[in-house]
Structure 1
Amino acid sequence: FPPSHPTGYTVDFYRFSVSWARILPNGFANEVSEDGLQYYKNLTQALIDNGIEPVVTIYHWDHPQILEDLGGWTNELMVEWYTDYARVIFEELGPMVKTFITMNEPKISCENGYNSTTAAAPGKVLENMGHYLCVHNSLKAHATAYHLYDDEFRATQQGQIGMLASATGWVPGDNVTEESIEQHFQFDCGWIMHPIYVGDYPEIVKTRVANISALENYPFSRLPEFSQEWIEYINGTTDFFGLNHYTSVMPIFDTAEELGIYTRDSGIIKSTNSSWSTSSAFWIYVLPEGFGNVLRMIRDQYNNPPLYVFENGYPDSGELEDYERISYHYEYISEMLTAINDDGCNVMAYTIWSLLDNFEWNAGYTELYGIISVDFNSSDRTRSAKLSTSWWQEVISTRTLQDVPSNSTRLDSVTEGQKDVQNAK
C-alpha cells in the first residue's frame, strides 16, 4: 500500500475480470464491441491515475451463449476461440496492464459447470467426464494464450501472465494421513497446476481415473490424455502461482473402496467437524492452519514459485459490525506471515474477496463477502461502510496487521499486537 498516497488508504492493486460477451458479443473476434472495450479501458485508466495497478482476469466463468451451444469447454475449438479473445485483450488493455490471469479456478468452473446441475452455468452433467474435458481444453487454452503473450506482446508490454487455481486446505484429524493429504492435494490443485509446473497430470490422478473407468466398463479413461507435444507446450506456462483459498477439511480415504465400491475418482472424503467455526456459506470453515499447509505444499511441490493470493474471504449475512470477518482476515494473514517469515514461502501479494458485497453464483445475495455493504434493494445500490472497512483502512495506512476489535473497543484505539505486513502487501 503506497504510504505516499494522499489518503493513506490506497491499495497496491485491484483485480477485476473481463466479460467475454461484453468484448465479443457473438463469441468470435469478427465482431468487437468498442463500447465494451471502452468500459474496461476507462476502468483501467482510472486505476492507474489513482496509483493502483490493474490486475486483469481474462476469463472468469462466463462466455457467450453461442459458444456453449457449440459445446463450450467440452469442444476443443474453444482453445482457438479463447485465444482469439485473449489477443483482443492483450492488444487493447495490454499496454496499460502488467498482470494478466488467464483463467479463474478452472477446476471449480469445470466441476460445477459440466458435472453438476446446481452450482454454476451451464449446469450440465456429462457422463462424469464433462469436467475432465473442460479442464483439458482449459489448460490448452491457457497455454496457447501464454505463448501468444510470450511471443508477441511480452517484449513491448513487459507484463506477466499466469494461471489461477483454487486449493482447499487440510487440518489434522482421525484417519488423516500424509498419503490422504497428498491424494487430496493432487485431485484438488495438482490436477490444474501439475501440468503447468511439472508436466502432464499427476500420476495418481491418471491412474485412479483410468482404473475406475475400466471398472465401469469404459473402453477408455474418462480423463483425456495429453500428447507429448501438448505436455511440453503446457509445461512452464506461468509467471506466477495464482491461488484462491477460503477453507480447509480433513481429507480421509473412502473406506468403501476396501469393499470394491468406488463412488468418487479422488477416493477422498472431505470430512468436517461440527465444532469448527463456520460462516454463512455452508462450506467455509475458519481454519487458518490449513492456509499455511497449502502454502507450504505449493512451496515443496513446485519449487517455491512466486505466489499471489488472489482471493481469500469470509461470507456473512451482511451485518455492518462484521467482527467475524475481521477475525478471519486477521487469523489468515497471521498464518500467511508465518509461512513467509518462518517457512520461506514466496508469497508476493494478498487479495481479499471482496471489496463490495456482490452476487455469488448459486448463493445469490445470501452470502456477502464485501468489506463494504451494498443495499441491493436500493435502485442506486447504496454503499455503506462496515466495521471491516475501518479495520482495513488502519491496516493499509499503517502497513501493520491490527488486532481484532472487541465489541466494546473503539477501532481507533486498537494499537497492540501489530505485525509487520510489509512483505505481504
Structure 2
Amino acid sequence: MFLDNLPQELFADICTRLPIKSIVHVGCVCKSFHAIIKNPNFITEHINRSVADDKKTQLLLLRYHSNPDNKERFSIRYDDEIFDECMTFDNSYKVWPVHYYKIVGSCNGLICLCDYLSVTSVLILWNPALRKSFNLPMPPTEFSLHDFVVGFGFNSSTNDFKVVRIGNVCNSGNTQTSRVSPEVEVYELSTGLWRGSSAVVPPYEMIPRHCSHVFVKGASHWIAFEKGKEQNRYLILSFDMGSEVFGEMVLPASVANGPKLKMSISLFGESLSLFCYDGDLSGTSERCCIWVMQEYGVVESWIKLFTVDLAQEINKVLGFRRTGEVLVEMGDGELVSYDPESKEEVHVEDFWFQDSSHLDTYMESLVLLDGKDQVSLNRAYCWNKLLKEE
C-alpha cells in the first residue's frame, strides 16, 4: 500500500492542508491515522495553516432569533457575495427568553457560549465543525445574578484555551446587600478546572448583557466606564490571557465621555474597532460612527473610519466583512450589508426578535478532537443532541 511507505511526517503535513471533513474521514481509516490527526501538534499546525491561508473564504458565525419558528439559531456563513450558509444549528430545546446563549467569542475554531439569563449561567465550549461541545463545570464562586462578564481566548505560551469570569460577590445581611470588590476566576481547557486569579480588577463598571467582547493580541477586551456626577468616562478594559494582568486603553476624546453611551467593540482585521451610536442603551439610533485603532495600544492611532447613516433607524452594527462592508441590524429587525464607499445597502435577512443577533469570525479546526474534552465529560452533558444541521 502506498501510504505504508509514506513517512509519517510527510503524511501529517499533507493532512494539515485538507479541510476538516476530509481529515476526519482520514482518521476513521485506521488507529494509526486517528492517532496522527488527534495529536495536539498536528491540530496546532492545521490551525496555523488555516490562519496563513489568505485565499480561503472567510467564515462568519451569526447568532439570531429566527422567524416565524421562534428558534434560537446559530448559522455559519461564507463571507462571499451571497452570504451563503455553510452550516446551521438550532437550539430548539431552550426557548427564549428562558435561555439566551450569547456568543462570548470565537477563537481557533472553538466557540464559547454563555447563558446570561439563567440562574446557573451555563458556559459551553463548542466546535461546530466536529459537532462536539460540553458544559464547563460550575465555577466555585457565586456571583450576583447577571452581574458578571465573561472573556474567552487562547494563551499561546501554554497552547491552552482560557475562559475568564469577572464578577461581584454580594454579602447578604439581614436588611441589605453590600457589594464587595470584584473577583476573577479562570478556567483552563488543559485541566478542565476553575481556579481563582490574583488579578486586581480596576475600579470600573461594565454592563454585562450589553458588554461586547473581543479577543485580540492575546487579551480579552470589554467596554468599561467610570461613573461621574454628570457624565461617565468610557474606556476599553483588557485582560491578558498569559500574564493575567488587567490593562486599559483610552478612547478617542470625542466619544470618551457621556451620560449613558451606547458603544461596542469589534475587530477590523486584526485591529480593535469601536462602534459609537448617537443613541443610548434603551433603543435604536440614527447613525453609528466607526473608529479603528490602527496601532494596538496607541491612543493617538485612533481614526474615524466612516459613519453608518442609513434611511432607517439602526439597532446595531454587527461587524465587518472581508470586502469592507459592514453588517447592520436595522430597527425593524432587517439585516443589511452596507458598503461605506458606495453607500449602497443590500438586504440579507429578517430577524424575528430585535437585538437577538451577534456576529463573529469563525475558522474550522480540530480543537476538542485530541481528548481534552474528556476531562469534563463525566460532569457535563453533550450539547450536540440539541444541535441539528439543516
TM-score (norm 2): 0.29
Q: Which has the higher contact order (CA 8 A, sep 6+)?
A: 2
TM-score (norm 1): 0.27
